[in-house]
Chains A and B, each alone.
Chain A
Amino acid sequence: MKTVCLYFQVHQPWRLKKYRFFNMGKDHNYLDDLLNRSIMQKVARQCYLPMNALLLRLIKENQGAFRCSFSITGTAIEQFRAFAPEVLTSFKELAATGCVEFLAETYSHSLASLASKEDFEEQVKLHMEIIEKEFGKRPTAFRNTELIYSDQIGATVAEMGFRTMLAEGAKHVLGWKSPNFVYANAIDQRMRLLLRNYKLSDDIAFRFSDQGWDRWPLTADKFVEWLASEDTPGEVVNLFMDYETFGEHQKADTGIFEFMRALPAALLDKKNGLEFATVSEAAAKYQPVAVLHCPHAMSWADEERDVTAWLGNELQNEAFSKLYALKEKIARLHNRDFDYVWNFLQTSDHFYYMATKWLSDGDVHSYFNPYDSAYDAFINYMNVLSDFIIEVDKALEKQTAGVR
Chain B
Amino acid sequence: MRVLMFGWEFPPHIAGGLGTACYGMTRGLARNGVEVTFVVPHAYGDEDQRFTHVLNASEVEALYGATGSGADDILSGLSFIRIDSNMVPYISPEEYADYHEQFVKTGQKTWSTTDVWKQRYTFSGKYGANLMEEVARYAMVAAQVAKDLEGQFDIIHAHDWLTYFAGIAAKRVSGKPLVVHMHATEYDRSGENVNTQVYAIERAGMQAADRVMAVSNLTRNIVINRYGIPAERVVTMHNAVRFAENSGEAPERGVEDKIITFLGRITYQKGPDYFVEAAAKVLKRMPNVRFVMAGSGDMMNHVIRRVARLGIADRFHFTGFLRGEDVHKMFQLSDVYVMPSVSEPFGISPLEAMRSNVPVIISKQSGVAEVLDYAVKVDYWDVDAMADAMYGLIKYPALANMFAAKGLEEVTNLKWNNVAAKIKAVYEEVIEEAKNQ
Binding site for B on A (CB under 8 A): 18, 20-26, 313-315, 317-319, 321-322, 372-373, 375-376, 378-379, 382-383, 385-386, 389-390
Contacts and interface: CB of A to CB of B under 8 A. Distances in A.
Contacts of A385: 314
Interface string B232-260: 00000000000000000001111110000
A321 B311 CA distance: 9
What bracket does the count of chain B residues touching chain A fall in? 20 to 34
A21 B311 contact: no
Contacts of B309: 314, 318
B80 interface: no
Contacts of A314: 305, 308-309
Given A21-B318, A322-B314, A386-B314, A379 B326 contact: no
Contacts of B317: 21, 24, 379, 382-383, 386
Contacts of B329: 22
B315 interface: yes
B289 to A, nearest CB: 13
Given A25-B254, A386-B317, A372 B305 contact: no
Interface string B314-337: 110111100000100100000000
A372 B308 CA distance: 19
A379 B254 contact: no
10 contacts: A18-B116, A21-B292, A21-B318, A26-B252, A314-B308, A318-B309, A318-B311, A322-B313, A373-B301, A379-B317
A313 B307 CA distance: 13
A21 B290 CA distance: 11
Nearest to A27: B254
Given A379-B318, A386-B317, A315 B305 contact: yes
A386 B315 contact: yes
Nearest to A380: B117
A22 B308 contact: no
Given A318-B311, A321-B311, A322-B313, A25 B305 contact: no
B252 to A, nearest CB: 7
A380 to B, nearest CB: 9
Interface string B282-310: 00000000001010000011001101110
B47 interface: no
Nearest to B302: A375
B314 A315 contact: no
B48 interface: no
A24 B255 contact: yes
A312 to B, nearest CB: 12
Interface in B84-125: 113-117
A321 to B, nearest CB: 7
Given A314-B309, A385-B314, A386-B317, A22 B304 contact: no
B277 to A, nearest CB: 16
Contacts of A317: 308
Given A20-B319, A382-B313, A315 B308 contact: yes
A86 B252 CA distance: 43
B319 A375 contact: no
A375 B301 contact: yes
A86 B305 CA distance: 43
B115 A372 contact: yes
Q: Which 8 A-B pairs have the closest CB atoms?
A: A25-B254, A318-B308, A25-B255, A314-B308, A26-B254, A314-B309, A21-B319, A21-B317
A382 B315 CA distance: 9
Nearest to A315: B308
Interface centre among A21, A322, A379, A389 (most CB of B within 10 A): A21
Contacts of A382: 313-314, 317
A356 to B, nearest CB: 9
A390 B301 CA distance: 26
Nearest to A23: B254
A222 B28 CA distance: 81
Contacts of A373: 115, 301
B304 A379 contact: yes
A314 B308 CA distance: 6
A376 B115 contact: yes
Contacts of B255: 24-25, 390
A321 B312 CA distance: 11
Contacts of A389: 314
Interface centre among B113, B117, B292, B300 (most CB of A within 10 A): B117
Interface in B336-392: none
B311 A379 contact: no
Interface centre among B116, B255, B308, B326 (most CB of A within 10 A): B308
A9 B307 CA distance: 35
Contacts of A20: 319-320
Nearest to B252: A26
A228 to B, nearest CB: 47
A378 B308 contact: yes
A24 B116 contact: no
Interface string B153-191: 000000000000000000000000000000000000000
A189 to B, nearest CB: 40
Nearest to B259: A21
B117 A376 contact: yes
Interface centre among B252, B256, B292, B307 (most CB of A within 10 A): B307
A315 B310 CA distance: 10
B117 A379 contact: yes
Contacts of B300: 375
B345 to A, nearest CB: 29
Given A319-B308, A321-B311, 4 more contacts: A313-B305, A319-B313, A375-B300, A375-B304
A265 B378 CA distance: 79
B238 to A, nearest CB: 32
A40 to B, nearest CB: 24
Interface centre among B256, B292, B305 (most CB of A within 10 A): B305
